[in-house]
Structure 1
Amino acid sequence: MIEIRQKMERSAKNKLWAMSNMDKLRSKYANEYVALDNGNVLAFGDSAGEVFRELRKKRIKDISTIAMEFVSEDSLVWLL
């Protein structure tokens, strides 16, 4: 149970890091998908499938905590 909670916390931290650093990511990875872990870009590509293939090539097996984001070239604001 502790391991699951730790993975959920790490996943949330990765997602928060992505949101907090989107401008930085946008300057280098605009209109691409990125896989992020612990403040590092592990892989990027034109599609989520391409990113997953890159992660497999790098032999990253546990992707449960990795944040996968599409980096839009435009800053988007969602109104609900």
Structure 2
Amino acid sequence: MDIILAFLLVVFVLLFIARSFSRSFRFVKFIVLNCILGLLLLISTNLIGTFFGFTLGVNVITILIAGFCGIPGIAFLVIFKLFL
């Protein structure tokens, strides 16, 4: 009986750990996809902005801002660059 309870406890703990990793993996995937989309938005902004003599620096900080915030993040970067 003790062996069965120990086995069930181990299975429960492994399922809990697996579920925790799957949630964190989804979060990491979400962040990576948003950062890729932010990079694409930055590149698009730079391509369109070159016609007007306006460019944004593409670096880790700007990619993360654009990735986390999306279009409002790009708008913030543009406004920040205009006033700086």
Larger helix fraction of residues: 2
TM normalised by structure 1 equals 0.38
Structure number with the bigger relative contact order (C-alpha 8 A, sep ≥ 6) is: 1
Larger strand fraction of residues: 1
